[in-house]
Structure 1
Amino acid sequence: MNPNSPILGIDLGTTNSLVGVVDSGFPILLADENGSRSTPSAVCIAEDGTITVGAVALRQRALHPTRTITSVKRLIGRRPGEGGWVPPYVLSDLQTTPVEVSAEILKHLKAVAERALEQSVSQAVITVPAYFNDAQRNATKRAGELAGLEVVRILSEPTAAALAYGLDKLGEHQKVAVYDLGGGTFDISVLEMRDGAFQVLSTAGDTQLGGDDLDRMLAGFIAEKLNLSAKDIRVLEAAESVKKRLSVDEAASFDGLDITRAELEKIARPWIECTRLHCLRALSDANLKAEQLDEIILVGGSTRMPLVREYVRELFGREPNTSQNPDEAIALGATIQAGILSGSLRQVLLLDVTPLSLGIETFGGLMNIIIPRNTTIPAKAGEMFTNAVANQDSMLIRILQGERELAKDNWELGRIEVPFPPGPKGSARVGVQFSLDADGILNVLARDTATNQDTTLEISGTAIDVEDERVEQMIAESVDLAFEDMNERIWTEAKLKAEELLPAVDAALAQLGESVEVRACAAEVRRLLDLPEHDARALKAANQQLDDATQSLAVMLIERAMEESLARRGLV
């Protein structure tokens, strides 16, 4: 990349968005013509099709609530109706999409940068929540392209914040947690910084938890007190304003209603408690205790609340680091990453991870992991698979993402069908390779080794066929249901083993005659297979007993085959 061609760093936020660039070796955030570095992530589409963006659009919300689009980040990369949150506008009525709305915000940021730099720009690093899945990352990338930008990197927000924090500490070795509570999403990431290298050890979060939710809860409280509608835009805007004032003052008022910080904190307590499990899981995944962390970094506008800071202090047992502006840290990190990619900054290396495991479905409906969760990206891994039944003429490869033992409990990201000549069981050989690029986008290659014919698939937003809110539930379910899942996996593997053993045993008995011991062991295996409840360990033990009992049959079959061979040769 040409160092003379600047690459923008963009924080495309739920509530506000920012843009920056490295100038003379220093990352700076760029201001618009009004001197504001922060642009409201709002787009208003007038009846005549005129589009306004930012503060101008936000001022239209009270007059045109159904034509003013805010918090579109919660919709990008998702299918209609997913997520539970219902905005006051309908994008289809406005003849637009989340990608197109996001593109308008990015166009505005591009224009801000070009005005400030007095030159055209065409490349950008754009941040997304660490827990954004493949569809959401791809949709963000498409929005950038629609805005006339080549998106050279999709960067996780907590990683960007840690990058901003660590730029002046290149000689130190630290482990930090980034607690990122923004307008629409929550992320917690644990990172290790050593000699200028940043590696994400673990990440967790909720793509549907943020300040917007607290605004609606407070709006409901205000509406109930004043006998108003909680859906009234005026009430929602008042709730947002009151929330911000209560981060500084002990009391605020709206239409004669006095609201204290204590009342807000009572409303907010269940909301902030939702972050607890994610924080504990991130620590567990990183194999760390809270006291082993060097810093807890707060990011996101919602962390300005005294309650949030107090909660983080209690949870991690230490004072959180508030040295960075929580509203600007992510944009600053994106700008630093952009500087690294353009060659303007050369001292820092960034290593990100994938938040969920990736794999395929194997015979019996099991999940076979190819790239484990928390693998540093970019990453590449593969395995060889074979046909499970005779005369099979193709292999359907279902690409899965998730942490559950059974394929049906994970997300299907896409599928590939690989044809091959029919043959005996185990005759086909299909190599499957997963490649995760630096943006967290997955490419899958399947190769029939007999013909060297390749089938490829790039996972895109349209390939996701599950509800996106499973992101937040996936790891919690894998922990809560670990015993049941493992039991079902052991059962499935034992069942496949039994179904392979029994026909072979029956064939041996038909040749060699009855064996009371073998017949009894086979009967026990069949009994366990027929039971409505799945006793995995009992079936596994019964398989072993049957296998042991048939050892003598195997010896007899070999001896008989040798005798028959000698007889045919006239040696006996």
Structure 2
Amino acid sequence: MDREPTIGIDLGTTNSVVATVVDGHPVTIPSRTGQTLTPSVLAFSADGKRLVGAIAKRQAIINPTRTIFGAKRLIGRRFGSEYVKKLQEYLPYRLVPGGVNEDVRVEIDGQSLSIPEISGAVLRELRLDAEAYLGVPVRKAVITVPAYFTDSQRQATRDAGIIAGLEVLRIINEPTAAALAYGVGRALRGGKVAVFDLGGGTFDISILDMMEGVYEVTATSGDTALGGDDLDRRIVDWMVESFVAEHGVDPRGDKMAMQRLRDAAEKAKCELSSLQETRIDLPFLFTHPSTGAALHLQLSLTRQKLEDLTRDLVERAGTIVERALEDAGVEPEEIDDIVLVGGQTRMPLVRDLVRRIFGKEPSKGVHPDEAVALGAALHAHAIAHRSSDLLLLDVTPHSLGVEIAGGWNSVLIARNTTVPACASHVFTTVRDDQESARILVLQGESERAADNEVLGELVLSPLRKVRRGEVEIEVQFDISADGILSVSARDRQTGLEQSIQIRSFGGLTSEELQRIVQREKDKEIASAQIAYDRSQREAIRLLLEKGERLLPRARDFILASTFGTAALAKAEACLRAARDWHDMPQGAPDAILAGLQQTVELCEAILEQRGIRG
């Protein structure tokens, strides 16, 4: 390859996908076991071995407390948030606070794991899959996130990429990436497209204007706590209620039973996208605490019952779509095409919602599981090649402002403002002889400052000691195309200025991140050494078998040749060394391999001269 390869990654709640561009066309990269979808699951076996992806998901039922799934729903969140408290009731693994700001972490065997570490393990698996597919090291990637992610969640995702050994070229929104995949090969002459993205854990809707390589987002909205997992939970609750009604005991205290119920719920939900009814059979689900009898679960779930259980969740997505259309200033009938992204959009009830809102059939032109990764790969390729054929104009999903007197939020940049963007406002002091001004930078839609997320703060000091209202302070916000926010404050009379670049807190301090990155590098080097030693061992075994088979047949010929006894003694010594190589100093395998290779080549040459096949 002329340039270092780039990849695009869709880091999903349930599954993740990696893609690249080959000969100008985006392609998904299969895992080393042949699948294009990698479960976003990290597990630890009883002996502490780390398992990632499909192998981790397969053992979840027998190892529920040490199998971490759905990390995307936790990334960039505080432990004390109401959302995390609700998740704790459902997740089988233990959540604990950690770090300087008490972000949520997972505890396994007394060890606290940050969410970027967990997501980083999945990203590393995808990177290794890409390296196996491309045959070269891969370091540069574009990673996607839900459009409605906060800055903290975006920064935590970027940290996860760094932990995975990636240079994160850019974090882009999932609907925007899907729009890129949709636009490939189409002669776009102007049109409005809605990207409806309902995945395992999040929902996004973006409205775009698309024309000849320009993808301009006009509005975006979403819910980072709405996805297929929530529908699964409704099915689980229904199954538990049915079980309690039949047997009089509650299985919710049994983590293994609950994991079986979760898996069965997801399977049944997927089947009902194509069937009208499905059976749920879970033998020996629970043991009666009094009698010791084995209790089974046998139920029939219809599509109608599933829709009754989940209709309010789907309608919630519909309300969000209507808000995005209103923000974009367009009517549903003005949308030319609807792109469905995310596995949950296969559900007939979801498709019915889309038809009802937009009055037309959604596009079938993109793969709902792969579109986001393919679009990310296209964007990564464009960045690496400095292509001017592709222009993304995205928006900021949340309003940005500062706290003002009375605890109110003064918005400088409203949500759905196209980035890059710049805005400023002049504030005045609120007290006589005020010596400093504290500017608290906020993200969110609430008028009350306390209800929004604090991104950072800066202090302008010393101010002139004059009466209140006489000192004018100009606050300016600048957002780059990468979504990096810079804030400056300037005393308009004296020119005194302070500025900061907001680095949203993703849960890890710089020191923690560096320490984790170094530890993961050390692990990767150790793993590579183990793999190398294993390959050396296998090569020695194969050559030793061959040498032991050939040398007895070639012995007399070697003695009779010009090489004589010295060559025979050397060959026999090589075979002896190979049998005992594990007792020899480090570095010995290379010398042993070379000796074995020479021995085998000598035997083959001697036998070939005599017309004997090896």
What is the TM-score when the length of structure 1 is the normalising length? 0.77
Match of 1:400 among 439, 442, 445: 442
- In 2, the alpha carbon distance for the partners of 1:194 and 1:457 equals 33
Once the 2 structures are TM-superposed, how far is the Cα of residue 159 of structure 1 from its aligned partner?
Answer: 0.9
Cα distance in structure 2, aligned partners of 1:463 and 1:142: 9
- Decide which of 115, 118, 123 is 1:98's aligned counterpart: 115
In the other structure, the counterpart of 1:313 is 355
Query: Could you give the per-residue CA deviations for residues 238-290 of structure 1, whole angstroms, max 9, x where no partner exists?
Result: 11111111111222112242222121121121221111210110000011110
| Alpha-carbon displacement from aligned partner over 1:174-195 (angstroms, at most 9, x marks no partner) | 1011111100001111111122
Q: Displacement of 1:49 after TM fit?
A: 3.0
Moved more, 415-424 or 238-247: 415-424
Pick one of 227, 237, 251 that aligns with 1:229: 251
Report which stretch shifted further, 339-348 or 70-79. Answer: 339-348
Q: Distance in 2 between matches of 1:242 and 1:171?
A: 39
Per-residue CA distance 1:294-316 (angstroms, 9 max, x = gap): 01111100001111111211122
Letter of the 2:471 counterpart? A
In 1, are the aligned partners of 2:191 and 2:209 still within 8 Å (CA)?
yes
Residue aligning to 2:329: 287
Amino acid at match of 1:461: F
Q: How many angstroms apart in 1 are the aligned matches of 2:506 and 2:310?
A: 36
1:445–1:456 Cα contact (<8 Å) kept: yes
Q: Tell me, which stretches of 5 or more residues in structure 2 are unaligned?
A: 95-105, 245-249, 282-297, 509-614
**Residue from 388, 407, 414 that aligns with 2:456:** 414
How far the C-alpha of 1:128 sits from its partner, in A, is: 0.3
Query: Measured at CA, do residues 74 and 278 of structure 1 come closer, stay the same or move farther in structure 2, by a change above 3 Å?
Result: same
Query: In the aligned structure 1, how far is the partner of 2:223 from the partner of 2:490?
Result: 36
> 2:286 matched to 1:264?
no
State how far apart, in whole Å, the 2-side matches of 1:455 and 1:308 are.
Answer: 46
Amino acid at match of 1:322: K
CA distance in 2, matches of 1:406, 1:224: 41
**Counterpart for residue 248 of structure 1:** 274
Cα displacement string for residues 468-487 of structure 1 (whole angstroms, at most 9, x for unaligned residues):
xxxxxxxxxxxxxxxxxxxx
Instruction: Measure the CA separation in 2 of the matches of 1:311 and 1:448.
Output: 53
Query: Which deviations, in whole Å up to 9, do the C-alpha atoms of 1:416-473 show, x marking residues without a partner?
Result: 2111243213443433222223332323233445254434242412699xxxxxxxxx
Q: What does residue 43 of structure 1 align with? A: 42
Say if 2:488 and 2:497, in contact at 8 Å, map to a contact too: no
* Per-residue deviation, residues 396-419 of structure 1 (Å, max 9, x unmatched): 111122233443443332222111
Match of 1:433 in 2: 476
The one of 323, 328, 340 equivalent to 2:365 is: 323
Question: Which residue type is aligned with residue 456 of structure 1?
Answer: I
1:206 alignment partner in structure 2: 223
Q: Say which SS state the counterpart of residue 282 (structure 1) adopts.
A: helix
Does residue 182 in structure 1 map to residue 199 in structure 2?
yes
CA distance in structure 2 between the partners assigned to 1:407 and 1:12 by the alignment? 32
Partners of 2:70 and 2:507 in 1: CA distance: 24
Flag the 1:235–1:291 CA change in 2: closer, same or farther, 3 A: same
Using the aligned pairs only, state the percent identity: 46
In 2, the alpha carbon distance for the partners of 1:10 and 1:409 equals: 33
Kept in 1, the 8 Å contact 2:459–2:498? The answer is no
Q: Does 1:57 align with 2:56?
A: yes
Paired residues of 1:448 and 1:454 also in contact (CA < 8 A): no
Aligned 8 A contact 1:413 1:463 in 2: no
Question: 2:342 corresponds to which residue?
Answer: 300
CA–CA distance in structure 2, aligned partners of residues 248 and 367 of structure 1? 48
Is 2:379 the counterpart of 1:337?
A: yes
- Structure 1 equivalent of residue 19 of structure 2: 20
* Post-superposition offset of 1:167: 2.0
Decide which of 446, 460, 465 is 2:489's aligned counterpart.
446
Q: Aligned ranges for residues 348-427 of structure 1 at < 5 Å?
A: 348-425=390-467, 426-427=469-470
Q: Decide whether the 8 Å contact of 1:420 with 1:428 is kept in 2.
A: no
- Cα deviation digits, residues 212-244 of structure 1 (max 9, x gap): 011111112122223463561011101111111
Write the mapping of 1:161-172 to structure 2, written as runs, cut at 5 A.
161-172=178-189
User: In 2 relative to 1, CA 214–463 (structure 1 residues): closer, same or farther, beyond 3 Å?
Assistant: closer
Q: Which residue of 1 aligns with 2:608?
A: none
Structure 2 counterpart of 1:250, which letter?
A: Q
Normalised TM-score (structure 2): 0.72
Question: What is aligned with 1:159?
Answer: 176
The number of residues matched between the two structures is 463
Give 2:559's aligned residue: none
> CA distance change for structure 1 residues 96 and 401 in 2, over 3 Å: closer, same or farther?
same
1:368: how far off?
2.3
SS for the counterpart of 1:63 is: coil
Determine if contact 1:196/1:348 at 8 Å carries over to the other structure.
Answer: yes
Residue 311 of structure 2 aligns to a residue in which SS?
helix
Contact kept? 1:39, 1:54, Cα under 8 Å:
yes
**How far is the alpha carbon of 1:378 from its aligned partner?**
2.3
Structure 1 stretch 153-162 or stretch 218-227: which is displaced more? 218-227
Structure 1 unmatched runs, 5+: 465-572
Structure 1 runs, 4 residues or longer, greater than 6 Å off: none
Change in Cα spacing, 1:445 to 1:19, as seen in structure 2 (3 Å) is same
Match of 2:87 in 1: 85
Q: 2: distance between equivalents of 1:40 and 1:463?
A: 24
What is residue 219 of structure 1 aligned with on the other side? 236
SS of the counterpart of 2:125?
A: helix
- Does structure 1 retain, via aligned residues, the 8 Å contact 2:150–2:398? no
How far apart, in 2, do the equivalents of 1:368 and 1:265 lie? 42
Report if the CA contact (8 A) 1:138-1:441 is conserved: no
Q: Separation in 2 of the partners of 1:135 and 1:252?
A: 41
